[in-house]
Amino acid sequence: MKYRFRELPTLQASRARALCSAIMGARGDHRTDDANDTFDRGLALFNRGQYFACHEVWEAVWLRNTGAEKLFYQGLIQAAVAILHAERGNPRGAASTWRKARAKLEALPAIHHGIALGEFRDAMAQFFAGALDPDAARALPPRPKIERRR
């Protein structure tokens, strides 16, 4: 069965095209990338607020890893999903997924894989402190970004 983008009821056509492009690139269906390029593509998607697409891209890297590296990628994926839960008005899912992500990312050094992981953990904690505060305003705090550090 062939679907047209305008037939997708839950996604706008432009978002659907961007997601398909990101997934095809990550899985090698459209072009061949190494893990670093795929990670960088997911990083760019995360920083643009495209959390679902970044989750899909990073999943391709996560599936190819084992041990501590697999947990690192899983923690980043869970962080993206936690923000997505918060955006969709699911504070329980956001809190649960963020706890899982934080547990995986806390054990890693402040600079890991060329990113400022310590700063990211702090920004995520600050985001969820505001996002999960029942007394806070309805608007979510600014979304965390992942910064490069060498």
Domain 12-131 annotated CATH 1.10.3450.10 = yes
Q: Name beta bridge partners: 148.
A: 115
pLDDT confidence bin for 15, thresholds 50/70/90: low
Q: Name the least confident of 22-26, 42-46, 84-88, 131-135.
A: 22-26
pLDDT of residue 19: 52
Distance CA 58, CA 79 (A): 12
User: Who has greater pLDDT, 96 or 150?
Assistant: 96
Chain mean pLDDT for the chain:
83
pLDDT tens, residue by residue, 85-122: 999 999 999 999 999 999 999 999 999 999 999 999 99
pLDDT of residue 29: 40
Query: Would the pLDDT of 31 be above 70?
Result: no
Query: Would the pLDDT of 25 be above 60?
Result: no
Q: Locate the DSSP E strands across 32-123.
A: 111-112, 115-116
pLDDT of residue 36: 87
Query: Strand, coil or helix: what is 22?
Result: helix
End-to-end CA distance of the chain: 47
pLDDT of residue 136: 74
* Residue ranges per structural domain of the chain: 12-131
Whole-structure pTM value: 0.77
pLDDT of residue 37: 92
Characterize the bridge pairing of strands 115-116 and 111-112.
Answer: antiparallel
User: Who has greater pLDDT, 35 or 129?
Assistant: 129
Provide mean pLDDT across the span 75-89.
97
pLDDT of residue 42: 97
CB 81 within 8 A of CB 97: yes
